[in-house]
Amino acid sequence: MLRIINVVGARPNFMKIAPVIDEMRRRSARIESLLVHTGQHYDESMSDSFFDDLRIPRPDMHLSVGSGSHSEQTARVMIAFEKVLLENSADWVVVVGDVNSTMAASIVASKQLVKVAHIEAGLRSGDRTMPEEINRLVTDAIADLLLTPSRDANENLAREGIPTEKIKFVGNVMIDTLHRNLEHARISRILDKLGVSKGEYCAMTLHRPSNVDSRETLSGILDALESISHRLPIVFPIHPRTRMRLEEFGLNERISNLKDLISIEPLGYIDFLNLYSNSRLVLTDSGGVQEETTALSIPCLTLRNNTERPITVTEGTNRVVGNNPEVITREAFAALERPLTSKPSPELWDGKAASRIVDAIEAAS
């Protein structure tokens, strides 16, 4: 019997681990799995309905580490997770993505000689000013099994000297979650509530420090949104960090005065999936949204100078445009002029990644 401890630290991690946990439970005769939530991010929307709507398993353990600086948070996760491993023997620790909890749990497991499997391994932006990039590099350097979502991730790991036998191309598990919830999302009435029609609005997310922590940059992005909103309405669920900066910089009134910018509170996954899957264009600085729009053939502009998911550009519908307002506006107008076309999803973005992930862990055991 394999004993596996799965570690998540933030809401997006649950989206990725959910189909993997389901697959492990289908193999309960051979696998015993536990789910540990470090509590790195506390999200009030993670209520009972969040887990029920998305059929996401509730954590077996919650470490409640809370927020803090990157170093403080990483240290608290390490201290708390060490106790988990001392009290619960495990053959594998499975980590997901690139949050602080991913790196912290990997370090602890490695020091206690417990094998580490990293889901979404090998992604690189080349930008070491991003904390997530450091988390990716460290986790992949010490992981025993690197489960990659795309061929370019394999190439990144090979360049870094990771032995080929540790690398397994399994596909994108986030697309598993997308496929199994897309039909369910059609029950959402969010478009009716917002007064927008399918294919006739732009959806937006914005939260990264490089975009929102500078008044000049954030104000420039608002300039672009004002121009774009003359062409079609923009629905903007505002992240708590962004909301705080808008208030701090005195930009709330400007947001309120943009007639065709519909600013709302953050949405749950089902409502947000319905929102962006029915949009004409998506503006974002989120990694996951780049992938999901690619899987759905929805034009996406990424408001960053780089992406750790280049396959969404080379094979998908994503364009990396930075945060210069003139470039954002120009690229948005160009996207609206191009006819919508359906593209095939990248290789192994087929909704079956979770099965391949668990196969790989069993084979490596």
CATH number reported for the structural domain that contains residue 36 in this entry: 3.40.50.2000
- Alpha-carbon gap, residue 94 to 317, rounded angstroms: 30
Per the CB < 8 A criterion, the answer to whether 262 and 234 are in contact is yes
What is the per-residue pLDDT across 187-196, written as a single tens digit (0 to 9) for each? Answer: 999 999 999 9
The stretch 239-259 carries a mean pLDDT of 94
Split at pLDDT 50, 70, 90, the class of 15 is confident
Among 7-11, 155-159, 251-255, where is mean pLDDT lowest?
7-11
pLDDT of residue 289: 95
41-93 pLDDT, tens digit each: 665 555 555 677 767 778 999 998 888 889 999 999 999 999 999 999 999 99
Within a domain: 182: no
Do 325 and 221 meet the contact criterion of CB atoms below 8 Å apart? yes
- Entry field: residues in the chain: 365
8 and 48 co-located in one domain? yes
**Do residue 133 and residue 241 come from a single domain?**
no
Select from 236, 247, 345 the least CA-distant residue to 281. Answer: 236
Evaluate whether residue 307 is within a structural domain: yes
What is the pLDDT averaged over residues 138-156?
Answer: 98
Q: Across all residues in the chain, what is the average pLDDT? A: 94
What pLDDT score was predicted for residue 361?
A: 98
159/228 same-domain check: no
Q: Provide the pLDDT confidence category of residue 12 given band limits of 50, 70 and 90.
A: confident
Q: Is residue 75 part of a domain?
A: yes
Can you give the pLDDT at residue 43? Answer: 59
Q: Which residues pair with 7 in a beta bridge?
A: 36, 95
pLDDT value for 42:
60
Is 344 among the domain residues? no
Same domain, 109 and 249: no
Asked if 121 and 166 sit in the same domain, the reply is yes
Do 235 and 289 lie in one domain? The reply is: yes
Across the range 205-219, mean pLDDT stands at 96
Domain that holds residue 111: 2-171+349-363
Q: What is the pLDDT of residue 105?
A: 98
Q: In this predicted structure, what is the pLDDT of residue 49?
A: 59
Q: Is residue 163 part of a domain?
A: yes
pLDDT for res 285: 96
Evaluate if residue 268 carries a pLDDT over 90.
no
Examine the domain organization and report whether 274 and 332 are in the same domain: yes
- The DSSP code for 165 is G
Across 197-216, b (16+ Cβ under 10 Å) vs e yields: eeeebbbbbbbbebbbeeee
Judged against a pLDDT cut of 60, whether residue 171 lies above it is answered with yes
Domain total in the chain = 2
Residues 102 and 242 placed together within one structural domain of the fold: no
pLDDT at 178 over 60: yes
Amino acid 45 reads S
Q: Is the pLDDT of residue 16 over 70?
A: yes
Are the CB atoms for 197 and 177 separated by under 8 Å?
no
Q: Let me know whether 285 and 329 are in one domain.
A: yes
DSSP per-residue codes, 88-112: S--SEEEEETTSHHHHHHHHHHHHT
Instruction: Sheet with 318-320: list strands edge to edge.
Output: 261-264, 234-237, 202-204, 281-284, 300-302, 318-320
Co-location of 7 and 101 in the same domain: yes
Domain identity same for 249 and 140: no
Query: Do residues 36 and 166 both lie within one domain?
Result: yes
pLDDT (0 to 100) of residue 50: 67
Q: Does some domain include residue 342?
A: no
Q: How confident is the model at residue 279 (pLDDT cuts 50, 70, 90)?
A: very high
Tell me which residues are annotated as active site.
Answer: 207
Residue 23 lies in a domain: yes
Between 180-184, 221-225, 321-325, the lowest mean confidence (pLDDT) is in 180-184
pLDDT at 111 over 80: yes
**Mean pLDDT throughout 322-337?**
98
Please check the confidence at residue 206 and state whether its pLDDT lies above 80: yes
Evaluate whether residue 78 is within a structural domain.
Answer: yes
